[in-house]
Amino acid sequence: MHRPGFKQLLKDLKQIIIVFILFILGSFRANAQEIPALSPMPVEFRFESGAYILDSASVIHCSPESEKAAELFAAYVLQHHGIRVQVQTVISGNRNNPLTEKSILLAYTPMLQKKSAYQLSVTGNGITIMGDSSGIFYGLQTLQQLIPADIQYT
């Protein structure tokens, strides 16, 4: 197995870093100018601090119910940003599981109050999208819109 040298690691780090930033104001009083233009527009925003680095070491952990949406998101990231993200199907997971640390966790939770609803959380420890199958799909659509368009893997 070939191990990259320090120079290669530095080069890779420069090339693969994409930072997701959700601006935190800690308030529900954000005005319309502070809310990113997303489609469809989420019902509720809660701004908190958090950033996640998406790179080629990132893994999407998903349930069998959300595997297709995870594959579509991984294909989008590869096509538009040049970053290959792995998709791994797991039975269940949460942020307390070491398997899901520093990953994108798609938590299939059909018990949310409204069909197609989702909760998206971005922290330095990972990204979590909770919802039913369609909610996870919509959450990934929102996440795509939050990725800075001008950042590419080179």
**Domain with 80 in it: what CATH number?**
3.30.379.10
Give the integer Cα–Cα distance in Å for 99 and 32: 37
pLDDT, tens digit only, all 154 positions of the chain? 455 565 555 444 444 333 333 333 233 334 444 567 777 666 666 666 767 888 888 899 998 889 999 999 999 999 998 999 999 888 665 555 656 567 898 988 876 578 888 888 888 778 888 888 888 999 999 998 888 776 665 4
Q: How many domains are there within the chain?
A: 1
Give the integer Cα–Cα distance in Å for 52 and 45: 18
In 10-150, beta strands by DSSP E = 18-21, 51-54, 59-62, 86-89, 103-108, 118-123, 126-131
Note whether residue 13 is domain-resident.
Answer: no
pLDDT confidence of residue 60: 92
Note whether residue 8 is domain-resident.
Answer: no
Note whether residue 151 is domain-resident.
Answer: no
pLDDT in tens, 101-133: 678 989 888 765 788 888 888 887 788 888 888
Note whether residue 7 is domain-resident.
Answer: no
Q: Which domain holds residue 131?
A: 19-26+36-146
Helices (H), 49-149: 67-81, 133-146
pLDDT confidence of residue 38: 78
Note whether residue 1 is domain-resident.
Answer: no
pLDDT confidence of residue 11: 44
Note whether residue 3 is domain-resident.
Answer: no
pLDDT confidence of residue 95: 55
Note whether residue 73 is domain-resident.
Answer: yes
Note whether residue 9 is domain-resident.
Answer: no
pLDDT confidence of residue 122: 83
